[in-house]
Amino acid sequence: MRVLWRRLSMQRAGTGLGIVLLLLLVLGVTARAVQPVYRVAPDTIFLPLDGVALNAHTGHVLWRFPRYTGQTYTDGHGLLLLGWTVAIAPHLHHYTTRICRLRTRDGHRLWCHDHAAVREWVVDNTGRFLYLHTPNRLEILDASDGQPNHGFDLDRDSELSLMPLPSTGVLMLERHRGNVVQALRYQPGAAALQPVTVPAKVYPFRGDGRGLLLYAKPRHEFFLAAPFRRLFDRHQPAEAGADTFPLAELDDSGFLFTDWAGDQPVIRGGTYAGAVWHAPRRAPAPQLALTHLAAIMLEPKNDGASQLLGWSLASGERLYSREVSADAGRNPRLHASADAVVVQTNSGVLLYNAVSGIERWHADQPVDTLAAIARTAVVFWDGSGGMIGLARNNGSLLWRVRFQTVSAPLPF
């Protein structure tokens, strides 16, 4: 089964006119449900299960790519890599993964290469290198053309995980039953892999492919991975939260996580090169978000309202404290981009400036799951199998799409 997509109408801000358009597009049946949506360029969003890229401001189709089920990587600013399995020979224990880089303005394939027996692949935070784990081997490829740059043989790698480091390079952890057997680090240009000593029972917090913290639960300690060091020395044990696993939000700019200072619940934040700061919290499980400059927390209050708090990510200086009234809707959900904070409720959407906390607009527009925050639009699933785009500058409805199920052949 496939989906025939009809763009039924588009409303411009400040007009009461609906411009009826009929655009036919073959999409995957998963478009009726929530599926991953990636902002691959400032105003371009990509639906990999349907192989279609849309202009986030207009809802128009920019380009198509054969739909696939696999791995998608993007930095949100023009780097887009796709990987999926193209051949399987079970009796030979052989499979082939194809990795392609697409140009985000038109979907043109800049390069595609096939690799045998790929266990995992990740992208360097600089966007320059691709790390490929195959049996007993780490390959480093140039992201510009997909060609080999360097490679190393590995001794024990049956349970190896690749984790991009916040600046550049990759950490490799091999764990058995929760214990770290070996840890290796690679920095671009190095002639050898560097062994790293880490705690045996360590959990990696990974920030959507960018950013990395290591957490050792037995002693409630947090560590940076490059260079490996403990984030801070505790003056007293975290007794009150000893059995509580922390929540964390992180990216390549910094981190924010829940912790305890003695019996007081706190959040801790910072950048990978700076000092760690902390601030009090009331909720046992607040919602956390990061931008390049701000650390943000949303926690409920006793009166049914919520409190939105922001701190400087680098210094911990309080930037703002804003109340999200219960009248705005219950069960708020927090999202953030580089310069905007989106609070989504059951009845509508609020958008704040990420650094000042000033409310830019409040739209009484029922929405479902957030799909993407683009340069000029905030895109949501609408709860009925369609999508809507709200203007970043004033919250007005820019476009809406609906879906219908029809039959169509698979591209491959």
Q: What local confidence, expressed as pLDDT, does residue 92 receive?
A: 61
pLDDT in tens, 1-44: 333 343 333 333 333 323 223 333 444 434 445 789 999 999 99
Q: Pairing state of beta strands 2-11 and 24-28?
A: antiparallel
pLDDT band per the 50, 70, 90 thresholds, residue 241 = low
Alpha-carbon distance 73 to 79, whole Å?
A: 8
Note whether 315 and 293 are within 8 A (CB): no
Alpha-carbon distance 373 to 376, whole Å?
A: 8
Alpha-carbon distance 124 to 131, whole Å?
A: 7
Q: Among residues of the chain, what percentage have pLDDT more than 90?
A: 62
Which of 103, 31, 21, 97 is CA-nearest to residue 63?
103
The pTM for the full model equals 0.88
Note whether 130 and 147 are within 8 A (CB): no
Over residues 216-237, the mean pLDDT reads: 83
Alpha-carbon distance 347 to 146, whole Å?
A: 46
